[in-house]
Chains A and B, each alone.
Chain A
Amino acid sequence: MSMTKTQRRRISATVRYSVLTLWAIIAFFPIYWMVSTSFKIDTQWFSWPPVYFPDPPTLANYLNVWFGAEQYAATQYAISSQKPLISMMNSFVIATTSTFLAVFFGAIIAYGVSRYRILSEARMFQLLMLRMIPPIVVVAPLSLYYSAIGLLDSRTGLILIYFLTTLPYAVWMTKSFIDEVPREVEQAAEILGASRWRTVFEIVLPLIRSGLVATFLFILILTWSEYLLALIITKTQVTTLPIELSKYQGTTEGRVYGRQAALAVGITVPLMIIGLIIRKHLARGFSFGMVRR
């Protein structure tokens, strides 16, 4: 009896490890391929049979796409000259500013909802529509409106629309943290005569500091990788990294996989670092704070 139980346990452990390992390979292989291609010399980007390990590994792709170092490449592949660094700066400014605005105003709204019910539950769900209706349905009028008021192709334009579309996440996620703060502290502050705004900024928000950081980093993932709105609102003056990457597609020079991969790694690594830092809060973020761990 105990023998069969041990056996059964061993079998179930084997099944578990093999299924998990299989998916781990599926999940990891494309990422491995992107990274390894970024270190390959140009004859190995697109060869038959495929080259699984860069041999010899080279930094030429990185030096070329990120720093415009043309001596590292055959001239036909040298598309860029330092543009990606400018795009990275744009991406950084746009993503951090819009995310900061969303979290700052989102947290204040969330406080109002949690403690003063400034939005009913029905209104809170209506707020989610800002996120749930696909942005494609408003991008055409948005771009015409932006061109009329001079926000097309500007950082401000993109910041404002990211602020608006990520606000539901910010409100819901910070509300889930504020709900966990006991009210006694605020009541004490009120009795001691602190104004409502002082209570928010000096008591409640500091108490949910780590939650605010998690919310900020979570929304940063969304704004950093956004594609559609950036594609339509930015033209020539302001490009973000995802748009910069798509410029490498269908160039007349043909497939420039190594260059694309070097750029892609640079876009993805910051995101992965952020995601791994807040891995415990990802479920809460994506579920608008409805699921917690």
Chain B
Amino acid sequence: MSVAAVPAASVPSKPAARTRARRHSIRVFRWSILAPLIALLAFILLPVLFLQLYFSFHQWTVYLGSWWEADYVGLDLFKEVLSDPRFGWAVVRSLVFATGSTIGCFVVGFALAYLMAKPFRGQAVYYLIFILPMLTVPVVVAYTAEMLLYQSGPINDLISRIIGLDFKPMWLTDPNIALPTVMLLEIWNWAPFSFIIMLAGLAAIPKEPIEAAEILGASKWRIFWEVQLPLLRPVIFLALVLRFLEAMAEFPKTWALFQGGPGTATETLPVYIFLTTWQYFEISKGAAMSYIVMLLMIGIVLIAIRLLRREKSSLDSMYGQAAHAEPPA
């Protein structure tokens, strides 16, 4: 792969010395491009990963003297975390939250994109309004939600007026509703993401198969399921996978609004790690927990990357650049 990308002049008839000099200059060029990235990884990521490993095997809390003198405890911390039912529930909550909000975002975003795919009067205005929630800072979403959702607040008031009944769920204090509340906020916040991705997808799929199906008299429903959906598959994967990963990491809204409560109702993985580390100051337990979550997430991300790599080539040909972007190998 080292010479694969040399663009023009690697013609065999050139003197060998010149080719060698050229190769050398390319090697210098490549390494000087990579140097800052490597330096950054070595200076920040490596020490951090090392420390995380250290704390996972050494029992230390902020109340015990110097951290570098902490006792080696082997796998005890990992055993502690894995036998902690709160941790298990946090895993379940995170998965439920991420799955539910990903599906919610996708359904809303795809529906909107489908309805917006053909030009119509007022389209630009709708587009601008639809992307606004994505451009709101997540903490702001949380605090605004609090202003809207308290029991006698405007949302319950408006819904009560519209349906003509007393509608008073306790969005923020009922442990059964708290997690769904955060999910709804996540959907409000990030449905625009699925919307713009799916809109870009719908704009890029070829028109001919759809027109052909229309001429053959296929119903809109059949065209959607049998023509558009298969063509959109790579974009759909992308929208689902990226959203799911972001939802697994969601912290600002959950934390700012609930801090894990009421009870432990909104204690997702990021929240539980945060509580363990910064409220209970159990640095080592937090590190072991982080380590397990990191491995879990690496597993999920590797699957995600596999899916994305598989779809990437179809995406590239959809957006018509693969041909000239890849250097002749």
CB within 8 Å of B: which residues of A?
Answer: 13, 16, 19-20, 23-24, 26-28, 30-31, 33-34, 37, 45-46, 48-50, 52, 105, 108-109, 111-112, 114-118, 120-121, 125-126, 128-130, 132-142, 144-145, 160-161, 163-164, 167, 176, 179-180, 182-183, 186-187, 190-191, 196-197, 221, 224-225, 227-228, 232, 241-242, 245-246, 248-249, 257, 260-261, 264, 267-268, 271-272, 274-276, 279, 282-284, 286-288, 290-293
B49, A138: Cβ atoms closer than 8 Å: yes
B135, A20: Cβ atoms closer than 8 Å: no
A20, B116: Cβ atoms closer than 8 Å: yes
B5, A115: Cβ atoms closer than 8 Å: yes
Q: How far is the CB of A266 from chain B (nearest CB, A)?
A: 10
Which residue on B lies nearest to A16, using beta carbons? B115
Once bound together, how far apart are the Cα atoms of A293 and B192, in whole Å?
16
Whether B144 sits at the interface, judged by CB under 8 Å, is yes
Q: Which residues of B contact A19 (CB under 8 A)?
A: 111-112, 115
Once bound together, how far apart are the Cα atoms of A26 and B111, in whole Å?
15
**CB-CB contacts of B237-281 with A at 8 A, as 1s and 0s?**
010001001001101100110000000000001100110011000
B144, A20: Cβ atoms closer than 8 Å: no
Q: Which of A121, A132, A163, A268 lies at the interface centre, i.e. has the most chain B CB atoms within 10 A of its CB?
A: A132
Choose one: A23, A28, A264; the contact of B143 (CB below 8 Å): A264
Stretch of B207-215, B221-229, B302-310 at the chain-chain interface: B302-310
**CB-CB contacts of B98-137 with A at 8 A, as 1s and 0s?**
0000000000100110011000100000111111111111
Q: How far is the CB of B123 from chain A (nearest CB, A)?
A: 9
Choose one: A27, A117, A182, A232; the contact of B130 (CB below 8 Å): A27
**CB-CB contacts of B5-45 with A at 8 A, as 1s and 0s?**
11111000000000000000110011001101100110111
Whether B51 sits at the interface, judged by CB under 8 Å, is yes
**A-B contacts, 14 listed (Cβ < 8 Å):** A16-B120, A28-B129, A115-B7, A132-B297, A132-B304, A134-B248, A138-B294, A144-B67, A161-B44, A179-B325, A182-B324, A186-B7, A228-B270, A291-B315
B197, A283: Cβ atoms closer than 8 Å: yes
B33, A109: Cβ atoms closer than 8 Å: yes
Q: Which residues of B contact A293 (CB under 8 A)?
A: 199-200, 203-204
B301, A27: Cβ atoms closer than 8 Å: no
Q: How far is the CB of A244 from chain B (nearest CB, A)?
A: 10
A246, B139: Cβ atoms closer than 8 Å: yes
Which residue on A lies nearest to B301, using beta carbons? A132
Q: Which residues of A contact B312 (CB under 8 A)?
A: 121, 290
Choose one: B129, B251, B283, B298; the contact of A24 (CB below 8 Å): B129
Once bound together, how far apart are the Cα atoms of A134 and B150, in whole Å?
30
Which residue on B lies nearest to A229, using beta carbons? B251
Q: How far is the CB of B266 from chain A (nearest CB, A)?
A: 15
Choose one: B131, B290, B315; the contact of A136 (CB below 8 Å): B290
Q: Which residues of A contact B249 (CB under 8 A)?
A: 134-136
Q: Which residues of B contact A180 (CB under 8 A)?
A: 321, 325
Q: Which residues of B contact A112 (CB under 8 A)?
A: 29-30, 33-34
Which residue on A lies nearest to B157, using beta carbons? A50
B120, A291: Cβ atoms closer than 8 Å: no
Choose one: A49, A245, A268; the contact of B135 (CB below 8 Å): A268
Q: Which residues of B contact A241 (CB under 8 A)?
A: 137
Choose one: B25, B132, B255, B283; the contact of A28 (CB below 8 Å): B132
Q: Which residues of A contact B193 (CB under 8 A)?
A: 286
Q: Which residues of B contact A267 (CB under 8 A)?
A: 137, 140
Q: Which residues of B contact A23 (CB under 8 A)?
A: 108, 112, 130
**CB-CB contacts of B43-60 with A at 8 A, as 1s and 0s?**
111011101100100000
B48, A115: Cβ atoms closer than 8 Å: no
Once bound together, how far apart are the Cα atoms of A243 and B57, in whole Å?
32
Given contacts A140-B55, A286-B193, contact A242 B139 (CB under 8 A): yes
Q: Which residues of A contact B111 (CB under 8 A)?
A: 19
Choose one: A31, A48, A108, A133; the contact of B33 (CB below 8 Å): A108
